Structure 1
């Protein structure tokens, strides 16, 4: 298939990137450009790739041999695995140019930038040559047509204009729509604070909650401080109780109490209970919303609960069986049913007939090393946490254990490459060395 010579940036989001021998490198997350002087088309410096460890790295455009409809192919040479850091004279095309308010020349008509096209030059450089804009009509219910213009036919794409003006987010949200929450969080972390706030304000509470759960701790606190207090409380309500508790625990006592007071009582109650435990114990690690049924529930009913698409995968691996009430803290804990067992049994029988009563449980005050040994010993991804009276108070999942075992800044820096690869690979000619 012939390589593409004009590429619209928004269509590059998520494209797979391969090396010269077909090896997978990562996926495109953004395009980096250096703004030109006056109305000259900016030069494209390179691509921001997300590699499997979730680290975002920079690849110069000179390393790109072809951009095809479904993939980007790199030429021979090494790839610098150092974390990408945006420089003051650079702009992220997807993160900062999309939705910019511009003026079409010579008509002076106001418009919104919806995409940017880049093309190679004779010197193998790439430039941002075309812009797709939609006029702002101001008429409700009418969607204005999109026009593709030369870069110098619009005004308003200077660095000072882009960093100072309020900017829409619809095109950027469209790019994020197909991405997982963890990938959106990674993208937000790389954006300037102004742009990050604009995106956060435009996301609905549920989506923003999912994204906030995946952000580094400092970004979480920064966003909560920026949001209106009631909006921040609404987002905390939409978060998993254990993640909300972890975030609130990092705030001052005044801010924590104020936000808890703004949350609905039924939403704040489990969060308050989790805050009573030390962060490095089973109680501090657990979620208070595992899958719980009574012993007279059928296998079919239990399977219906674990099919919930909003249920984290780890929590779906175990169904806990307790006497009523089923909300934590539950009635007496009777045992659990593994999802493999649920799939093997007739749907009509009761879960009581498939109970695993031999699986050990964790006390709420179990320290992190004990929790780690528990998961290693029983090969689990989820385990029950009981109080002294044999009531289920929550469940610990392996991802929460890993969150506390990894370095504090792992969400920001990604995971280190084996064998110190970052230090071993040169980066010839790249502006982000």
Structure 2
């Protein structure tokens, strides 16, 4: 094991894990410590790493040849890819200790855990030895002093934590992609998950909710007051908001829709009216739409907007006014690759194509899948009987609704992880 011999674990969160050949195999998400009945500090037995497909596995501390705040390197041998499950006498350091209310000895000064250090003894055993605790001052405008003290000088590190904050755990999670943060939330106990979710800002929470299984979405939304829940729904894409509201009883749907701003609620109401399993029920009602007299330069500027998903930004739909769905007459679409090949001053009406029949709101999902695969499309327009564009079905919409309903559930993903992989000097 390489130096340093003392590492603060919050600094490891998100650090890349590499095999002996230098290929990245995952990222650190937590450390696992084994509680000891002798009063000695807990022994660190390994790390939890997140692998592709959101699978979290256990990395034995004995398998790690190098560990620091920049990288974790594994030695050769067999890597167990079974989904990590915490044992009864184990502790997940970041999940269970960050933001915990404790008392410093002597004197019982109250404080909050902001980090925990693990340290390697001469025999190679790693233990939790020091705790970074910030004093509670009782004054909003002043932060308390930060103390780094020995493990045995802190009371309240074991047992059930009451009245925990979220600031330090959020600091560890803040750089995660929404899908990874959603995955991390599924590892938390329900109460803690709801606390952390509620502490996210509306836009961040909306993004994370879209990546969670339906039952978790409903439970988190139910834990919010209704005004906050409506604010979060406003930040979601209309199709994602409609999917979530579909999981609620109709009376609760109506209450939340009434609390939303009318211009945000209207497209969601329209999507709720479509039959499940049809283009209308899975489409987004906010694709990129421009008039035929817009220029190629204007179209390229629109699809560069950072809030657009890659599938939505892959093409521009061209219609007569108005450009909000339902639009004026649908004229066709232009793929972004075609935009790159044209002069920036050219008008979209000159380059638009309409050689593929649009979908109807009633088109069933299997037919949508077949047609998108046939023409190698990432999105297709949906028009009504009056030839007005009402939305677009993107490939991610199709995937979301083609996979089993519980595909986002961690338990389902983990069930597949029952094989081992070999990390050796030849194959990595």
> Is residue 49 from structure 1 mapped to residue 49 from structure 2 by the alignment?
yes
C-alpha contact 2:80 2:419 (8 A) present in aligned 1: no
The aligned residue for residue 284 of structure 1 is 281
C-alpha contact 2:83 2:418 (8 A) present in aligned 1: no
Rounded Cα–Cα distance in structure 2 between residues aligned with 1:45 and 1:20: 20
Distance 1:405-1:3 versus aligned 2 partners, 3 A rule: farther
Rounded Cα–Cα distance in structure 1 between residues aligned with 2:122 and 2:141: 44
Rounded Cα–Cα distance in structure 1 between residues aligned with 2:299 and 2:419: 51
Q: How does 1:199-348 map to 2 (within 5 A)?
A: 199-348=196-345
Rounded Cα–Cα distance in structure 1 between residues aligned with 2:217 and 2:344: 43
The aligned residue for residue 135 of structure 1 is 135
Distance 1:349-1:389 versus aligned 2 partners, 3 A rule: same
The one-character-per-residue Cα deviations of 1:188-215 (angstroms, maximum 9, x if unpaired) are 0111112111111211111100001001
1:37, distance to aligned residue in structure 2 (A):
3.6
Rounded Cα–Cα distance in structure 1 between residues aligned with 2:91 and 2:222: 26
SS in structure 1 opposite 2:380? strand
The aligned residue for residue 352 of structure 1 is 349
Rounded Cα–Cα distance in structure 2 between residues aligned with 1:424 and 1:197: 33
1:260, distance to aligned residue in structure 2 (A):
1.7
The aligned residue for residue 35 of structure 1 is 35
Question: Whose relative contact order is higher, 1 or 2, with alpha carbons under 8 Å and at least 6 apart?
Answer: 2
SS in structure 1 opposite 2:176? coil
> Is residue 379 from structure 1 mapped to residue 376 from structure 2 by the alignment?
yes
SS in structure 2 opposite 1:233? helix
1:242, distance to aligned residue in structure 2 (A):
0.5
1:301, distance to aligned residue in structure 2 (A):
1.7
Alpha-carbon RMSD = 2.2
The aligned residue for residue 431 of structure 1 is none
Rounded Cα–Cα distance in structure 2 between residues aligned with 1:148 and 1:266: 51
Q: What TM-score do the two structures reach when normalised by structure 1?
A: 0.92
C-alpha contact 1:35 1:159 (8 A) present in aligned 2: no
C-alpha contact 2:297 2:344 (8 A) present in aligned 1: yes
1:333, distance to aligned residue in structure 2 (A):
0.4
C-alpha contact 2:284 2:391 (8 A) present in aligned 1: yes
Rounded Cα–Cα distance in structure 2 between residues aligned with 1:200 and 1:117: 26
C-alpha contact 1:314 1:382 (8 A) present in aligned 2: yes
Q: How does 1:81-120 map to 2 (within 5 A)?
A: 81-120=81-120
Rounded Cα–Cα distance in structure 2 between residues aligned with 1:276 and 1:88: 48
1:288, distance to aligned residue in structure 2 (A):
0.6
C-alpha contact 1:104 1:111 (8 A) present in aligned 2: yes
The aligned residue for residue 400 of structure 1 is 397
Consecutive unaligned residues in structure 1, runs of 5 or more: 428-433
The one-character-per-residue Cα deviations of 1:80-108 (angstroms, maximum 9, x if unpaired) are 22222334443322222111111111132
Rounded Cα–Cα distance in structure 2 between residues aligned with 1:424 and 1:170: 37
The one-character-per-residue Cα deviations of 1:351-375 (angstroms, maximum 9, x if unpaired) are 1122122233211111111111121
Distance 1:49-1:347 versus aligned 2 partners, 3 A rule: same
SS in structure 1 opposite 2:240? helix
1:414, distance to aligned residue in structure 2 (A):
7.9
Q: How does 1:159-238 map to 2 (within 5 A)?
A: 159-160=159-160, 162=161, 165-238=162-235
Please say which of residues 85-94 and 165-174 is displaced more in the overlay.
85-94
Distance 1:421-1:87 versus aligned 2 partners, 3 A rule: closer
Rounded Cα–Cα distance in structure 2 between residues aligned with 1:225 and 1:409: 19
The aligned residue for residue 144 of structure 1 is 144
Please say which of residues 252-261 and 314-323 is displaced more in the overlay.
252-261
Distance 1:390-1:38 versus aligned 2 partners, 3 A rule: farther
SS in structure 2 opposite 1:131? strand
Segments of 4+ moved more than 6 angstroms: 414-417
Q: What TM-score do the two structures reach when normalised by structure 2?
A: 0.93
The aligned residue for residue 420 of structure 2 is 425
SS in structure 2 opposite 1:45? strand
Rounded Cα–Cα distance in structure 2 between residues aligned with 1:375 and 1:95: 42
1:217, distance to aligned residue in structure 2 (A):
1.2
The aligned residue for residue 72 of structure 1 is 72
